[in-house]
A and B are shown apart, each in its own frame.
Chain A
Amino acid sequence: MSVDVAISRQLTADDRRFSLDVAFSSDSRRIVLFGPSGAGKSLTLRAIAGLLTPDAGHIRVGGRTLYDARAGINLPARDRQVAYLFQDYALFPHLTVAQNIGFGLTRGVLNPPRRRMSPVVAHWLEMFELGAVAHSYPARISGGQRQRVALARALAAEPGIVLLDEPFAALDPALRERMRSELLQWQARLDLQLMVITHDPADVVALEGHTIEIRDGRLWEDARSTTSAAPPTRMDSDLP
């Protein structure tokens, strides 16, 4: 699926101002937005998901226009068929693992029932080896399990593309390694298109995708061509 993004957005919070102005397109199955924290990667991802409205530009995914300022198109987040894996997973703390996974499959004002679960939910529980914790609450399960629940919840809706916001940042190094290879396995098995944002060069190496570098709200290539000064600094220096 082709992803075509060209957006700009001015943000002012208190006395700080930030301007985001990025344009890229890619057909890669693994698009990696790479850059230091505060570069505008998350804002870009939020704009694609429909959680942030740009000032101008367009967003197209797989030929569908999700946003187009000139044509006045701005699909709400719920209609974008885009999955979003939040950095802290954003699991619903008042719902069990099974209810979390089934959340997007029921549309009314009631949450999925605690006791009965749909075959679809059972399928995802089994696939992600979460059967043993199906009726546990998110606070009671491990970090790795939480990530799997978040992924299962996102994938149950059969989205066109999966957006992942720093998927490994919250994990300890040993687990990070494992989840990286797990994610790549899931991608191959389920034929997913991923768009991952990360500040970690090790992720860039492991994901082997089409890497787009963002700094100060601009694509790195653009920034390089417009400002002759400032040679590229090593990314590692931006790590905490």
Chain B
Amino acid sequence: MGEIWIPLALSLKVALWATGINLVLGVAVAYGLSRWRHPVRELVDAILTLPLVLPPTVLGYYLLVLLGTHGVVGEWLDRHGIRFVFTWQGAVVASTLVAFPLVQKAARAAFENVDPQLENAARVLGLRELPVFFRVSLPLAARGITAGALLAFARAMGEFGATLMIAGNLPGRTQTLSVAIYAAVGAGHDEVAGLMVIVTSVTCVVALLLAAWLAPGHAPVRRLDS
């Protein structure tokens, strides 16, 4: 059973880290974008959505160019003992990048649905901007953000392409569930592969059901911006 548990545990660890990072990063960016009135805003939003549509191999390539041992940032990081290539941290970076738009989009829609009057009420009652965010905007957007985070978790669980390119396929170290399935099928271990497929599917279905249950009105509420 170790051949399933080890990759499953690694997948869960990677997906949880990716979701946690996105909860901070995605929410911060989404809040910024929802308050920012500038024509460039939609361009920034489009660029941030790219990971959703680009082939994972392209993302993996970008990551290698950036974080590889001879990469733009990677060389400097390597001198400080930080490595992303062939490490589970690399898998976290890949999963974070791929799942980022899911949190960002959900959080932005949630923030834009918060009545600005409530934030104004908090300001008139004497609050600074940071308390307004933590006491009014964030709690009112929490449902939408959580739904986005669950989607991101499911997406991170299923990450394959970019993860394989940067973290590789090292059993017990960087071999996540989805990579392990690929390896098992390649080696002809169909039964093991089948079991892992079921485990992955069930995990993702649970996450999606929770997300659907949390999503307001079971359909994303959109507001048109001028």
Asked whether B44 is an interface residue with its Cβ less than 8 Å from the other chain, the reply is: no
Cβ 8 A contact of A88, one of B117, B125, B126, B127: B117
- C-alpha gap A14/B115 in the complex (Å): 21
Q: Which 9 A-B pairs have the closest CB atoms?
A: A104-B125, A90-B121, A109-B134, A77-B123, A84-B124, A90-B117, A78-B126, A94-B139, A111-B135
Chain A hits for B226, CB < 8 A? 14
B127 touches A107 (CB 8 A): yes
Asked whether B131 is an interface residue with its Cβ less than 8 Å from the other chain, the reply is: yes
Asked whether A62 is an interface residue with its Cβ less than 8 Å from the other chain, the reply is: no
- C-alpha gap A92/B121 in the complex (Å): 9
Chain A hits for B117, CB < 8 A? 86, 88, 90
Asked whether A201 is an interface residue with its Cβ less than 8 Å from the other chain, the reply is: no
- C-alpha gap A231/B222 in the complex (Å): 46
Asked whether A82 is an interface residue with its Cβ less than 8 Å from the other chain, the reply is: yes
Chain A hits for B135, CB < 8 A? 103, 109-111
- C-alpha gap A154/B125 in the complex (Å): 7
Question: What is the CB-to-nearest-CB distance from A199 to chain B, in angstroms, rounded to a whole number?
Answer: 19
Chain A hits for B118, CB < 8 A? 90, 92-93
- C-alpha gap A125/B94 in the complex (Å): 53
Segment 99-151 of B: residues with Cβ below 8 Å from A:
115, 117-118, 120-128, 130-131, 134-136, 139-140
Cβ 8 A contact of B125, one of A51, A93, A103, A108: A103
Chain B hits for A110, CB < 8 A? 134-135
Asked whether A218 is an interface residue with its Cβ less than 8 Å from the other chain, the reply is: no
Interface residues on A, range: 20 to 34
Segment 95-137 of A: residues with Cβ below 8 Å from B:
103-104, 107-111
Measured CB to CB, the nearest residue on chain B to A46 is B120
Measured CB to CB, the nearest residue on chain A to B128 is A78
Segment 40-97 of A: residues with Cβ below 8 Å from B:
49-51, 76-80, 82-84, 86, 88, 90, 92-94
A78 touches B127 (CB 8 A): yes
B125 touches A76 (CB 8 A): no
Segment 3-20 of A: residues with Cβ below 8 Å from B:
14
- C-alpha gap A77/B140 in the complex (Å): 22
Measured CB to CB, the nearest residue on chain B to A80 is B124
- C-alpha gap A83/B211 in the complex (Å): 39
Measured CB to CB, the nearest residue on chain A to B135 is A111
Question: What is the CB-to-nearest-CB distance from B54 to chain A, in angstroms, rounded to a whole number?
Answer: 36
A104 touches B115 (CB 8 A): no
Given A49-B124, A84-B124: 16 more A-B contacts, CB < 8 Å: A14-B226, A51-B123, A51-B124, A77-B123, A78-B127, A80-B124, A84-B121, A86-B120, A92-B118, A92-B122, A93-B118, A94-B140, A104-B125, A104-B127, A109-B130, A110-B135
Measured CB to CB, the nearest residue on chain A to B125 is A104
A interface footprint on B153-187 (CB within 8 Å = 1, 0 otherwise)? 00000000000000000000000000000000000
Question: What is the CB-to-nearest-CB distance from B220 to chain A, in angstroms, rounded to a whole number?
Answer: 20
Asked whether A215 is an interface residue with its Cβ less than 8 Å from the other chain, the reply is: no
A83 touches B126 (CB 8 A): no
Question: What is the CB-to-nearest-CB distance from A113 to chain B, in angstroms, rounded to a whole number?
Answer: 13
- C-alpha gap A94/B136 in the complex (Å): 8
A78 touches B121 (CB 8 A): no
B131 touches A77 (CB 8 A): no
Chain A hits for B124, CB < 8 A? 49-51, 77-78, 80, 82-84
- C-alpha gap A121/B131 in the complex (Å): 20
- C-alpha gap A198/B136 in the complex (Å): 28
Measured CB to CB, the nearest residue on chain A to B136 is A92
Chain A hits for B140, CB < 8 A? 93-94
Chain A hits for B134, CB < 8 A? 109-110
B123 touches A90 (CB 8 A): no
Asked whether A146 is an interface residue with its Cβ less than 8 Å from the other chain, the reply is: no
Cβ 8 A contact of A78, one of B115, B123, B136: B123
Measured CB to CB, the nearest residue on chain A to B118 is A90
